[in-house]
Structure 1
């Protein structure tokens, strides 16, 4: 095990915005890719040097990760959202990767002056016809001869995250997103970034390119959160030292010197990042390193203790190749898919108990809860959310949006809070996590934070009261927290994590 000094040096490498070199030839350009099953977000940034950061401190395009400031130059989402309808079209993995690679090729820095700053664009296609013909996107841009300083890729899992294995950078066969199974994400992106030309075939086949870093979209944000929180803690400790000079420091008025207070917390060496959206993912930092064991953490599939009299039979995604068949797991209860299906089940159960058939048809037609009701009422509503089995398609994002209409007091949120609290308790008991960061679309329901903390306190039943950070329920406010960048920029946590990966890749490749 490394010494504390070495560990902290690894956690906090020399600032990338160091001002040791002022000429343009030393500009550092990074690319970051956040991969989702429906959309990919690709972004390009320039590392800002110290004096530039001071000049641009009010620039809302700046992203800070630890001591490093990045100026976001270009960002795009593929497939882009339709500007009129707001609907995201369905593209194949090949179409998405082609568009991402085209974007990266178009903005490759052949020289430091070749990239120009432009407004962030999250919705428009790369070219006028990219949305209509994504397969031709690569033909519409010129290929640069340059390359980026480093690239970070953060994607959904399960994915190959071991750099020495042949499946590094590939979505694995166990993915619930069938169309993405065994898709190689790393190779086309690496080639589009100009990294493959100077590598041997053995290095390419093993994924050993230190300028490219690939991990899950939860491990990567965990790394970013860990780096940034450690940096903030160092800054706080430095401020305390400045306010309490050492005993040997000369005193201006020869008055007794104030001794610095002893540290009140242990160094941060562990952190969990949990995202709750269409699925539930868990990224872990333990002993200051991302966890890569047999695979990577899949904490969304651990079993939970459900609330009493819970009649929910599990979410549809869990029926195939999911632990416990998706019944009474974190993802099987707290994901947006599971919560939507639970809500629909609860509504139909209420209808069976309290409504006549005519009343049920009216309610179902209004809420889109029953395909037969739509047929009986000759509803003009589109059936795009109804699958081939004549059931509500919870995979459809528009269907899941109904969750946003529910009040905080709705029972589905109690089930969600219980499932997430069960996961937090497991993390505390198994890994002694110092920080558990909760994110994802479901956690935009801010009432859940307090509900989860209260439930964690109840489940623990006083067992960890001896730990200062867990000595009372209010202390959990500092243990179970929201992300550092939730209110600071418009970039998603996965993209911030991808930039953290790129920074690590750059540091390693120097």
Structure 2
């Protein structure tokens, strides 16, 4: 058996699957204190004889095994979680191979292998929800550098008439600060659930998401751009994003047909847990240790 954790800022999703990656048990835990979440997580997996674990965590996180912050959730506004050694705690509890990466990377990998990215080599996966992040797959491999990419903090050029300055405490008018779920609500002054599908706010949202698509297009030239997360479940967004993308790109570079290039995640909310299970399988079968190293 293999295990998976999609460690989000709102909830942890835990899953155990058999050797065919069929889920046999699943549980959700609210992301409260690290001590409480860790205890419940360990208790859940102790019920099963798991051979490996795939973890996608909210961040920023340490991703370089050669650095002292590897396996840590680093500086985060999530109370109590800054500088928390999540990977080490789980490694000490289970002593099994563990694949460790970001929550958006596991979703990107899930879509690569079993979703809209099947048959592609290079993709960008955006999650648009409480926060905004992106996972990069280059030549079918999860990309990380000195840190993992933080595409959600690309600085945005404001749409004409939008005087909103953003909510990001670090950069204000970055993608997350301008286009996350909380940013939408701050701009309009009420719950986004009250918006109709025809509300002009979706055009504003589409402008910023399209601008992000232009940015990653000229930087990485992916084969496909996939959107997941709660905000992206608004179907009326996609024609608006595609139209704005074409206008903002201005024909500068070629892309696949825009209807096939900017798309919604096929796996929906399951992309992360599917990807984490795939990476757990990879960790179990790899001859290279992917677990915590001191």
**TM-score for both structures, normalised by structure 1:** 0.54
Matched, 1:481 2:259: no
2:282 pairs with one of 486, 489, 504: 504
In the aligned structure 1, how far is the partner of 2:55 from the partner of 2:216? Answer: 26
1:302 aligned residue: 154
Q: Which runs of 4+ in 1 moved over 4 A?
A: 229-232
1:78 aligned residue: 29
Q: CA deviation at 1:163?
A: 2.5
Higher strand share: 2
Root-mean-square deviation over aligned CA pairs = 1.9
- Is the 2:117–2:224 Cα contact (8 Å) retained in structure 1? no
Q: Structure 1: which 5+ runs fail to align? A: 1-28, 49-69, 80-89, 110-147, 196-210, 234-267, 345-368, 370-401, 470-474
| SS, match of residue 180 in structure 1 | coil
In the aligned structure 2, how far is the partner of 1:445 from the partner of 1:404? Answer: 11
Q: CA deviation at 1:225?
A: 1.8
2:163 aligned residue: 311
1:217 aligned residue: 103
2:41 aligned residue: 100
1:192 aligned residue: 93
Matched, 1:342 2:187: yes
| SS, match of residue 15 in structure 2 | strand
Q: Structure 2: which 5+ runs fail to align? A: 289-294
1:278 aligned residue: 130
1:203 aligned residue: none
Q: CA deviation at 1:306?
A: 1.4
Closer, same or farther in 2 for the Cα pair 1:342/1:498, shift >3 Å? same
> Which structure 2 residues correspond to residues 333-482 of structure 1 after superposition, within 5 A?
333-344=178-189, 402-464=191-253, 467=254, 469=256, 475-482=257-264
2:114 aligned residue: 228
> Which structure 2 residues correspond to residues 135-174 of structure 1 after superposition, within 5 A?
148-173=50-75
Higher RCO structure, 1 or 2 (CA under 8 Å, sep 6+): 2
Q: CA deviation at 1:165?
A: 2.5
In the aligned structure 2, how far is the partner of 1:452 from the partner of 1:95? Answer: 40
- Is the 1:217–1:497 Cα contact (8 Å) retained in structure 2? no
1:386 aligned residue: none
Bigger radius of gyration among the two: 1
Q: CA deviation at 1:468?
A: 6.2
2:140 aligned residue: 288
- Is the 1:34–1:494 Cα contact (8 Å) retained in structure 2? yes
Closer, same or farther in 2 for the Cα pair 1:166/1:455, shift >3 Å? same
- Is the 2:56–2:101 Cα contact (8 Å) retained in structure 1? yes
Q: CA deviation at 1:495?
A: 1.4
